[in-house]
Structure 1
Amino acid sequence: MKFVTLALTSAIALASISSAIASTSPKPATQHTKDANAAVLKALPFSDKTDFENARKGFIAKPDVITIKDPSGNVVWDLEQYKSYISSDKASPDTVNPSLWRNAQLVMEHGLFKVTDNIYQVRSFDLSNITFVQGDSGWIVFDPLISPETAKAALDFVNQQLGERPVVAVVYSHSHIDHYGGATGIITAKDASSGKVKVIAPEHFTEHAVSENVIAGNAMGRRAVYMYGAMLPRNARGGVNGGLGMTVSTGLAGLIIPNVNVKETGQELTVDGVKMVFQMTPGSEAPAEMNTWFPQLKALWMAENSTNTMHNILTLRGAQVRDALIWSSFLNETIETWGDEVEVKFQSHHWPLWGSENIVPYFKKQRDIYKFTHDQSVRLMNQGYTGEEISEMLVLPPELEQNWSTRGYYGTLRHNSRAVYQRYMGWYNGNPSNLNNLPPEMVAKKYIEFMGGEKEVLKKSQSSFDKGEYRWVAEVMKHAVFANPISKPSKELLADAYEQLGYQSESGPWRSVYLQGAFELRNGVPAAGGTQTATPDTIRAMTPDMLFDFFAVRLDPDKAAGQQFSININFSDLQSNYTLSVENAVLNHTQKQVEKADAEMTLSMATMNEIQLKQMTFDQAVKDGKITIKGDEKIIDDFLAMLDDFNFWFNVVTP
């Protein structure tokens, strides 16, 4: 009997950079791209060096080399690749938007920094910052990065520079993997379960940390390869910056379950002599998130609710649309609660800001970038404009346009305004022709035929490319590629257009998306590349309900059609029992067990996890007596055969 194991993909799919050496080299910037990037230099206040002063303030030390490896010797983080071509004294290359280059230069200010008395940060050891708050006897660690290896390297460096202290608490600000995945590098699960180390998180943290990587994990992970540029070469024609940080580390992320849940704004907690007051912000940047006020230090930890960029209302890797309106309201609450007292604000990405006279205006602009995007998108929506039209129409007021911390290095006004439209109106834009429109492969052949055939389309598109009309070339040539995916000239011209769009992008994720698209058009879809599947800790943290929900989205309706059966599943270690039922080509589960199921299976959740982690086969578990089966065993065989496996490396830019 073959058990179909659970294949979960992390929301941040990580790929081996070394496997991504392009067989077709990227091309230089065209004159149109050079001109577009030169215009950016004239449009924005590059003479303002305040951010560079703040990014360097409090600097203590940095390692000579930051190349971090796992126990097997595999590199999981390598800042040296960026240091070879990005530095504060180098002008932006023609192939990089100068504003994005400036952001990369700022993020490259790396090492150990003092934020204020007893608060320190290690920056650019991963996509996010790791923060160390000094208590009476040890460290309270905020947001321990993605990988255990990078978190441990940061802790080792802090102890080397400031004196060794034990970790007495870990605080997860929110439920994204770059804020908890490295915890296993600085504490153990036993430390948490015994209460030796407090692991503090907002209510519903675990539920959201696990579920985001389960239901849509495969698709989100594949798209994250595009968003974070994990496979792009590290040079001026490849990966430059992820907007929030350089890129993602590639270690095996863990998940240590919190033992202290914060449930309400104003809740206080004192750990190792450090008093913390929490502000709950669910539904803002993450479904479970919180800010932290340190009244003794007049310091405010902003999690990821305010960074030095416009953030995402809808992340390009895919997720549920965030609520821009509630996000802005939480920032307003922050201002009203601590604006008169705060002396320093810091967060999980980028650099801090000091002085209430600077922080409050900063907060107001952060608040208003989300409020403006929400209000003006809804205003135009109510005038009958669609998401595409709104994204083309909206222009920021000068106060936000000329402000560095609201520039679109991560989110952008264009895709955020579409996200607001999507949140209210959904995918349908009201035009009847879009109600049941043809899918790409079907429509592509018709478009190319109506436009005079592929040869004529290539000729006209090349002419448009030569005029610098790259968005139009991308729009046309995607049809040519979907109509004839083996056409090398079509794929090459589409790749050329994507490439120039990437070179012009101010947003790090936009650049990565375009350049990864160009890479795959020229070189094909990778068959492998070290993609990180969900970690053992994530799988072990799944409840039976989460597991069965995931089984349900894997059910192949063609195989399940006409079938009707029920399976009782008893988890001996959880003392909980479930019934799975297949009917109408749908899988449902309930804890209200039926008395006479077609089959019954008893096992421990621990055994289920071993099977999911491929530490044991289903057949072996049955043979060893770890699973007992009653009733019609064929029912279980048939059910398992109905579950799909997901191919991670599905096509994106080709059919």
Structure 2
Amino acid sequence: MKTTMTAVVAALILAGCGGEAAAPSGDASATTVQANAEFARSLPLADPQGFEDAKRGFIARPTGKILAADGSVITDFDAFNFIAGDAPPTVNPSLWRHAKLNAQIGLFKVVDGVYQLRGFDIGNMTLIEGQTGWIVVDALTCRETAAAALAFARQHLGNKPVTALLFSHSHIDHFGGALGVLTPDQVKAGVPVIASNGFMEEATSENVLVGTAMGRRSAYQFGKNLERSAKGLVDTGLGKGVGYGTFGVLAPTDLITQPTEERVLDGVRIVFHNVPGAEAPAEMSFSIPALKVYGGAENLAQTMHNLLPVRGAKVRDALRWAGYMQDALDQLGDAEVYVGQHNWPVWGHDRIAAFIIQHRDVYKYTHDQTVRLINAGLTPSEIADQIRLPKSLQTPFGARGYYGDLRHNVKAVYQFYLGAYDGNPAHLDPLPPVEMAKRYVALAGGADKAVAAAQAAFDRGDYRWAAELLNHVVFADAGHKAARELLARCYDQLGFVAEASTWRNSYLTAAAELRGGAPKQGINRAAFVDMLAQTPIERFLEAMAAGLNGPAAEGKDFKINLVLTDTKESYVLWIENAVLHHRRAEPAADANATLTLTKAFFVRMMAGTVGAKDMLTSDELKVSGSKIDLARFLGLIDKASGTFPIVSR
């Protein structure tokens, strides 16, 4: 939250309003009710423009559910029907307004020849009408949601073929459903797939190396396991929810490599603009001059974006992002409608220009003022507590922090230039969390005294301090039930006042896990097999090296040949100084073992759908040399489950 958070919520939550009774679990406390009421009075929440835009061009709304092959629910079109009327006390009123806007789901006509499907997934599928069929912009997250969206469009607009598929950028919620839009045979037959330079490398690599940790943390960011309710998930900032189904990708047949390039697709002239290295490593916006349409990809959305996602990623360049927004003004031409791959459109040239300027200046102000305070010697947390956007940038709803958050983005700018270390030598080699927690709890006089102090802070409405105290108690003694429950209640209140959906979802997921424990099941790697099939083998070998248990590998000198029969690739893997290396080469004569198999089987092995025992006994591969040494080698590579605890140890 911005100045409103400082002036209202900070006054109540940081200092406390005093004297209230402890709130029952899951209810909004008096402090939270008062904070959200003050927040509501500070903003023109009744402004109808957003609702007019979000509903404009409505054609039809889907009903029922989108199911996975196993019968599990991927998308429930009625799950967010509770989002209506005034904000309940358990939701920040600004976020509630945004959630109501994102709840306008279905098929919409943007202008003649351009349609959007919203609410099938976290992102939008945009359809451009060509001479013979549909040019599809973005394929959503998974095969199931993409297929359902396209089928719904054909039901209402006509059963036309897909004549081109465009990927706006390299994040999975924009390409993961590719196989629900086109088949590989259709692509081979000549249907173009267009993306920006570097798309495949970025699309297939982002989640391979640290995908387990990123996937675990993404459940916090997107509220994956929260109930859909006023006390749980109400929005993700970019849309209602992520489609967790079957993921795939199609390799582009045509890459946009220059800053600006044109294509004529199915009779439609489209001008593409390369915008890499800001919101995504590979990204492109586009214009359709004949229709006066500008597509902003994800550099533009109806929210301040992340410079560093809560789930984790490489830090994004705020200065470059602001520069792309200035370029967008120059590229806008006489466009009369903006379409984004999240949220809803904007109509009117002047309104679009103002929208772009607001985003340009949010990122530029965040960058410049963070750098100014860096040079004044402030630390990330100090800068985050001090920076406030000017009033002119706080007012527009389309640039408020529903997905990104100013305080988090400030820390991202700091990290981009100086790293996470704040320069204080006390933070060069701090104790690990559990050891630190034990010493703080001992200093407080024991867990019970620390909990009592936290309870007093909670009763004052000082939730940030109460959470700090209780976090130490829970890390020092994960079984302390009173500390866990009180910390969960702190997170409830912090979530209930958060304007950023990512913060709300993180707080409430933390509360749920303190009460119920970490999830029992990690990432379903089998759902990624179609996408992983397009991933270069080198990415898997890098991930294997990062999974090598170094202490266990000390003194080991295994050498393994890997031969892929279908792709005619051959690699030599070897351990040296407890490090796993690889090079592309002919099989080494002195290898302990040679593993010969197809890439498809290797991908299934890496996805965890076949185990080491199955691999060694399968008819689908051949092992020559020592099977025992091969098993020992594979046994040195950790298989992270993705269920590690986050809010306790």
TM-score normalised by length of structure 1: 0.92
Q: Would the aligned equivalents of 2:523 and 2:642 in 1 still touch at CA under 8 Å?
A: no
1:623-642 correspondence runs (5 A): 626-642=620-636
Deviations 1:162-189 (A, max 9, x none): 2221111111111111111122122212
- Measured in 2, the distance between the counterparts of 1:573 and 1:246 equals 41
Q: Would the aligned equivalents of 1:598 and 1:632 in 2 still touch at CA under 8 Å?
A: no
Decide which of 631, 641, 645 is 1:647's aligned counterpart. Answer: 641
Q: Would the aligned equivalents of 2:215 and 2:523 in 1 still touch at CA under 8 Å?
A: no
- Measured in 1, the distance between the counterparts of 2:157 and 2:562 equals 53
- Measured in 2, the distance between the counterparts of 1:618 and 1:652 equals 29
Decide which of 136, 154, 170 is 1:159's aligned counterpart. Answer: 154
Which secondary structure does the structure 2 equivalent of 1:481 belong to? helix
- Kindly tell me: are residues 34 and 352 of structure 1, through their superposed partners in 2, closer, same or farther at Cα, counting changes over 3 Å? same
What is the aligned partner in structure 1 of residue 59 from structure 2? 60
- Amino acid of the structure 1 residue aligned with 2:261: Q
Question: Residue 566 of structure 1: CA displacement?
Answer: 2.5
Instruction: Structure 1: give runs of 5+ residues left out of the alignment.
Output: 1-24
1:217-366 correspondence runs (5 A): 217-338=211-332, 340-366=333-359
- Measured in 2, the distance between the counterparts of 1:597 and 1:550 equals 24
Question: Residue 38 of structure 1: CA displacement?
Answer: 0.6
Figure out how many residues of one structure are paired with residues of the other and give that number. 626
Decide which of 493, 497, 519 is 2:490's aligned counterpart. Answer: 497
1:540-551 correspondence runs (5 A): 540-551=533-544
Which secondary structure does the structure 1 equivalent of 2:80 belong to? helix
Which secondary structure does the structure 1 equivalent of 2:121 belong to? coil
Question: Residue 614 of structure 1: CA displacement?
Answer: 5.9
Which secondary structure does the structure 2 equivalent of 1:81 belong to? coil
- Measured in 1, the distance between the counterparts of 2:200 and 2:513 equals 35
Q: Would the aligned equivalents of 1:611 and 1:617 in 2 still touch at CA under 8 Å?
A: yes
1:527-606 correspondence runs (5 A): 527-528=520-521, 531=524, 534-592=527-585, 595-599=588-592, 600-606=594-600
Q: Would the aligned equivalents of 1:195 and 1:259 in 2 still touch at CA under 8 Å?
A: no
- Amino acid of the structure 1 residue aligned with 2:537: P
RCO higher in structure (CA 8 A, sep ≥6): 1
- Kindly tell me: are residues 538 and 241 of structure 1, through their superposed partners in 2, closer, same or farther at Cα, counting changes over 3 Å? same
- Kindly tell me: are residues 32 and 615 of structure 1, through their superposed partners in 2, closer, same or farther at Cα, counting changes over 3 Å? closer
Q: Would the aligned equivalents of 1:143 and 1:180 in 2 still touch at CA under 8 Å?
A: yes
Question: Residue 195 of structure 1: CA displacement?
Answer: 3.6
Which secondary structure does the structure 1 equivalent of 2:273 belong to? strand
Q: Which stretch shifts more, 134-143 or 26-35? A: 26-35
Question: Residue 553 of structure 1: CA displacement?
Answer: 0.7
- Amino acid of the structure 1 residue aligned with 2:272: F
- Kindly tell me: are residues 531 and 497 of structure 1, through their superposed partners in 2, closer, same or farther at Cα, counting changes over 3 Å? farther
Q: Would the aligned equivalents of 2:522 and 2:641 in 1 still touch at CA under 8 Å?
A: no
What is the aligned partner in structure 1 of residue 368 from structure 2? 375
1:109-128 correspondence runs (5 A): 109-128=104-123
Question: Residue 71 of structure 1: CA displacement?
Answer: 4.1
Q: Would the aligned equivalents of 1:95 and 1:504 in 2 still touch at CA under 8 Å?
A: yes
What is the aligned partner in structure 2 of residue 405 from structure 1? 398
Question: Residue 403 of structure 1: CA displacement?
Answer: 1.3
Q: Would the aligned equivalents of 1:66 and 1:125 in 2 still touch at CA under 8 Å?
A: no
Question: Residue 602 of structure 1: CA displacement?
Answer: 3.1
- Amino acid of the structure 2 residue aligned with 1:198: P
| Identity %, equivalent residues | 41
Deviations 1:455-511 (A, max 9, x none): 211121111111110011111110011111111001111111011000000011100
Q: Would the aligned equivalents of 2:523 and 2:641 in 1 still touch at CA under 8 Å?
A: no
Q: Which stretch shifts more, 283-292 or 176-185? A: 176-185
Question: Residue 234 of structure 1: CA displacement?
Answer: 1.3
Question: Residue 101 of structure 1: CA displacement?
Answer: 0.1
What is the aligned partner in structure 1 of residue 72 from structure 2? 74
- Measured in 2, the distance between the counterparts of 1:533 and 1:475 equals 38
1:419-430 correspondence runs (5 A): 419-430=412-423
- Amino acid of the structure 2 residue aligned with 1:131: T
Residues 1:454 and 2:452 are matched in the alignment? no
1:121-140 correspondence runs (5 A): 121-140=116-135
What is the aligned partner in structure 2 of residue 100 from structure 1? 95
Which secondary structure does the structure 1 equivalent of 2:309 belong to? coil
Question: Residue 616 of structure 1: CA displacement?
Answer: 5.7
Deviations 1:168-214 (A, max 9, x none): 1111111111111122122212212x143211111221211111121
Which secondary structure does the structure 2 equivalent of 1:449 belong to? helix
Which secondary structure does the structure 2 equivalent of 1:140 belong to? strand
Which secondary structure does the structure 2 equivalent of 1:137 belong to? coil
Question: Residue 520 of structure 1: CA displacement?
Answer: 0.8
- Amino acid of the structure 1 residue aligned with 2:167: Y
Which secondary structure does the structure 2 equivalent of 1:269 belong to? strand
What is the aligned partner in structure 1 of residue 167 from structure 2? 172
Which secondary structure does the structure 2 equivalent of 1:349 belong to? coil
What is the aligned partner in structure 2 of residue 14 from structure 1? none
Q: Which stretch shifts more, 102-111 or 329-338? A: 329-338
Question: Residue 120 of structure 1: CA displacement?
Answer: 0.2
Question: Residue 632 of structure 1: CA displacement?
Answer: 4.3
Instruction: Structure 2: give runs of 5+ residues left out of the alignment.
Output: 1-23
- Amino acid of the structure 1 residue aligned with 2:74: V
- Amino acid of the structure 2 residue aligned with 1:248: V
Q: Would the aligned equivalents of 1:567 and 1:597 in 2 still touch at CA under 8 Å?
A: no
- Measured in 2, the distance between the counterparts of 1:66 and 1:399 equals 42
Which secondary structure does the structure 2 equivalent of 1:212 belong to? helix
- Kindly tell me: are residues 435 and 623 of structure 1, through their superposed partners in 2, closer, same or farther at Cα, counting changes over 3 Å? closer
- Amino acid of the structure 1 residue aligned with 2:582: H
- Kindly tell me: are residues 445 and 146 of structure 1, through their superposed partners in 2, closer, same or farther at Cα, counting changes over 3 Å? same
- Kindly tell me: are residues 137 and 563 of structure 1, through their superposed partners in 2, closer, same or farther at Cα, counting changes over 3 Å? same
Deviations 1:22-67 (A, max 9, x none): xxx952100100011011111112232211111111112223x242
- Measured in 1, the distance between the counterparts of 2:625 and 2:244 equals 45
What is the aligned partner in structure 1 of residue 8 from structure 2? none
- Amino acid of the structure 1 residue aligned with 2:492: E
- Measured in 2, the distance between the counterparts of 1:631 and 1:46 equals 71
Question: Residue 531 of structure 1: CA displacement?
Answer: 4.8
- Measured in 2, the distance between the counterparts of 1:140 and 1:469 equals 53
Question: Residue 262 of structure 1: CA displacement?
Answer: 1.5
Q: Would the aligned equivalents of 1:264 and 1:278 in 2 still touch at CA under 8 Å?
A: no
- Amino acid of the structure 1 residue aligned with 2:121: D
What is the aligned partner in structure 2 of residue 388 from structure 1? 381
- Amino acid of the structure 2 residue aligned with 1:138: G
- Measured in 1, the distance between the counterparts of 2:201 and 2:33 equals 47
- Measured in 1, the distance between the counterparts of 2:121 and 2:510 equals 24
Question: Residue 594 of structure 1: CA displacement?
Answer: 7.4
- Measured in 2, the distance between the counterparts of 1:653 and 1:586 equals 31
What is the aligned partner in structure 2 of residue 44 from structure 1? 43
Which secondary structure does the structure 2 equivalent of 1:293 belong to? strand
- Kindly tell me: are residues 649 and 607 of structure 1, through their superposed partners in 2, closer, same or farther at Cα, counting changes over 3 Å? closer
What is the aligned partner in structure 2 of residue 141 from structure 1? 136
- Kindly tell me: are residues 621 and 35 of structure 1, through their superposed partners in 2, closer, same or farther at Cα, counting changes over 3 Å? closer
Decide which of 83, 86, 94 is 2:83's aligned counterpart. Answer: 86
Which secondary structure does the structure 2 equivalent of 1:428 belong to? coil
Q: Which stretch shifts more, 573-582 or 388-397? A: 573-582
- Kindly tell me: are residues 91 and 616 of structure 1, through their superposed partners in 2, closer, same or farther at Cα, counting changes over 3 Å? closer
Decide which of 180, 183, 188 is 2:183's aligned counterpart. Answer: 188
- Amino acid of the structure 2 residue aligned with 1:134: E
- Kindly tell me: are residues 522 and 330 of structure 1, through their superposed partners in 2, closer, same or farther at Cα, counting changes over 3 Å? same
Q: Would the aligned equivalents of 1:598 and 1:635 in 2 still touch at CA under 8 Å?
A: no
